[in-house]
Chains A and B, each alone.
Chain A
């Protein structure tokens, strides 16, 4: 027997207590939505998981009103310490129900259980735990004394890290004293709905967090609602642009966390085995559905052949399959739409003349799958060097000198993250200085921590999530000091 054909090691779904259908979570309860309900499916099997409510404009209105009431009557009257206690409770409950949440996340999103269990859910708990402690210490955050909350925050999150993105949004918002209406992505509502149950268990006052499932129009209605003070969006640059336009002049504070085409730079003096691991992790972790994915490998030309050979050998041990199998490394692509896009861009890459190679994975019949793929000999003018694929596809380019690596890395409208692999500290720090990216990982990649600010330069968005900086997005600009107040137009304008 070939030992590497590991026997199935399935994580059981028996600990899930799924309902057949879910309502919207408004004002502390599940209520019917007025839009047309839709199904959420498992992208690995295409089987139905549950029916989910769809929030229409009326529902959005109800939810925002609930959030406003909760803000004015309850949440803004609580002390920071009490807000913190609710957040601590939530963190603990997430830890208690960690396994259930991880299974639900893998089922609904398609990512390997290994990742939901070891990365996503632990970070969710950590995020709530971290911001819980800030709630009564806002004076110390370096944002002025007694900084004030903004009011009601409208938050729209993507499908790639459903529960984690929810935590990134809700935790700082609540810690800073805001109330929230949040819209999970259309294809991944499940973990948010279980999270709503956790909020009930935590006894969070009704209306402080409202969860509206729905699609793009729900998000649009939410973002453009006149009684919202703050908009936070994570998703594609295209939608981010549209949001920035639609809230212009409304007085709403906006933060955006958008796409990327990060360069992972391997120098000839890199710790090579770890650099290969970091490259693989950089683009194939979470099936490449990561805004900060290291989707461009910039390898110093004199070690190109060795690196590519090692990469291929390493990719051959990646296991693609059932997301609920504990040995799966690469799960399913989140949706048919996303799969089509990945395929389309990969075909373009081939047509452009890059050398395509895929890991020898067995593709199951049902579900949405794409084998980890690399494109070698990619040039800076190729579309696959510039456009975000958002899938397990790596473009490999070369460079000759550190300056050239930096220039190529920065030569993009994006600017979310970058990786540097070298054994030479002075070089790492100098390169890090010059990379126009909000997060720079040196001799590592895809590290996240609630204490560490995350966000982009340029068209990767603005604002930071995580750390002390992550509070700024949810507090009034207090630094205007003696100046007269900002010009407010009050209502949103379309």
Chain B
């Protein structure tokens, strides 16, 4: 048995403030393992209860519009082409050509090498660092598996940032996490965050994908959430969408509890993004309820909550159409992208 020589970790500010200047693999581990456990049955029951909220009429209308503004409209396929990206962007800008009151989405989410096409297609709709407009989020760090050298993952990130990505959705090293090498996971996030720094000193917004389906237990998700925040993440994100289970209401609830607690502890707001598997408005509304009743209504804005989704948008549009026309709509009345 080798002696556990405490390895000093990269000095992320939040971690240093919370755990102390002697931030090491060991002190990080002690902190994470000291977090309260999660009883899965109770967590899932609470999520189930939140899912019974009945959101009608004006609340529903508000919810549908809000959902749209929180969507990261996503295409992450090996078969993506510039044409596909252009089509996605057009939908992002004008989700419903028949209804100009429809808000636009928060961002488009594409592979790093598709960023230039997204930026170009957005044109004046691109936020370009401002508060309004549509952001470009890029997945990076050898998404979705994350199985590559750190150098490769950082290069992946740097390319996307250089191409104009406003946001980087990175993946954590699940293998390192499950092997107990929290320090490795931590250092990688810090390094990616640093790679998000632009020449002018601003940072691309960093979302840290935990891949909750692979972390498997809720206790792991709680620890990984704290780890990601301590290492400097701006958002914690559930999944790549490439592994089942992807986002679930209980796991999102858990992550919202973490950001709520972080806020209580430090006053800082961290965002949450469930991604993958949210296809219906009904489900998305349950998420809004969960956000509002856990972290608070303040979180219902693009800065702090996103849906990683593709087909969700059309279902929301169908619901919007029913609310405005009074009759059920159909697939012919919404566009494919």
Contacts and interface: CB of A to CB of B under 8 A. Distances in A.
B292 interface: yes
B39 A7 contact: no
Contact of B38 (A3, A7, A271, A309): A271
Nearest to B45: A277
Contacts, number: 75
Contact of A274 (B46, B57, B300): B46
B59 interface: yes
A202 to B, nearest CB: 30
Contact of B59 (A6, A317, A423, A443): A6
Interface in B33-61: 36-39, 41-43, 45-46, 52-60
Interface residues of A, number: 26
A317 B295 CA distance: 11
A274 B293 contact: no
A403 B42 CA distance: 26
A9 B56 contact: yes
B159 interface: no
Contact of B297 (A2, A271, A443): A2
B292 A1 contact: no
B263 to A, nearest CB: 11
Secondary structure type dominating chain B contacts: helix
A267 to B, nearest CB: 11
Contacts of B36: 269-273, 423
B297 A327 contact: no
B288 interface: yes
A317 B257 CA distance: 14
B31 to A, nearest CB: 16
Interface string B281-305: 0000000100011000100100000
B62 A3 contact: yes
Given A4-B297, A327-B53, A423 B37 contact: yes
B37 A271 contact: yes
Interface string A46-88: 0000000000000000000000000000000000000000000
Interface in A24-43: none
Given A273-B38, A274-B38, A317-B293, A6 B43 contact: no
A45 interface: no
A278 interface: yes
A326 interface: yes
B63 interface: yes
Given A3-B59, A269-B37, A277 B46 contact: yes
A386 to B, nearest CB: 29
B63 A3 contact: yes
| Residue with the greatest number of chain B CB neighbours at <10 A, chosen from A1, A4, A118, A271 | A271
B56 A8 contact: yes
A9 B55 CA distance: 7
B42 A444 contact: yes
Contacts of A2: 297
Contact of B54 (A3, A272, A326): A326
Nearest to A274: B42
A114 interface: yes
Interface residues of B, number: 29
Contacts of A274: 38-39, 41-43, 46
A125 to B, nearest CB: 19
A443 B53 contact: no
Interface string A257-275: 0000000000001111110
Contacts of B43: 273-274
B51 to A, nearest CB: 11
Given A114-B52, A443-B39, A3 B288 contact: yes
Nearest to A114: B52
B319 to A, nearest CB: 15
A13 to B, nearest CB: 16
A273 B294 CA distance: 11
Contacts of B292: 3-4
B37 A327 contact: no
Given A7-B57, A9-B54, A273 B62 contact: no
A327 B56 CA distance: 10
Contacts of B55: 6-7, 9
Given A273-B38, A423-B37, A1 B63 contact: no
A3 B54 CA distance: 12
B41 A7 contact: no
A364 B300 CA distance: 29
Interface string B53-84: 11111111011001000000000000000000
Among B39, B59, B292, the most chain A Cβ lie within 10 Å of the Cβ of B39
A444 B52 contact: no
A443 B42 CA distance: 8
Contacts of A5: 59
Contacts of A4: 292-293, 297
A149 B152 CA distance: 78
A443 B41 contact: yes
A11 to B, nearest CB: 9
Nearest to A2: B297
Nearest to A423: B37
A443 to B, nearest CB: 5
Q: Which of A3, A8, A278, A317 has the most CB of B within 10 A?
A: A3
Contacts of A3: 59, 62-63, 66, 288, 292, 297, 300
A273 B264 CA distance: 14
Interface in B225-274: 254, 257, 264
A274 B45 CA distance: 9
Interface string A232-275: 00000000000000000000000000000000000001111110
Nearest to B36: A272
Interface in A431-462: 443-444
Interface in A1-23: 1-9
B42 A278 contact: yes
Interface of A: 1-9, 114, 118, 269-274, 277-278, 309, 317, 326-327, 423, 443-444
6 contacts: A8-B56, A272-B36, A273-B43, A317-B293, A326-B52, A423-B36
Given A7-B58, A423-B36, 8 more contacts: A2-B297, A3-B62, A4-B292, A271-B42, A273-B43, A277-B45, A326-B54, A444-B41
Lowest 7 CB-CB distances: which A-B pairs, in order?
A: A274-B42, A9-B54, A326-B54, A271-B39, A7-B59, A423-B37, A274-B39
Interface of B: 36-39, 41-43, 45-46, 52-60, 62-63, 66, 254, 257, 264, 288, 292-293, 297, 300
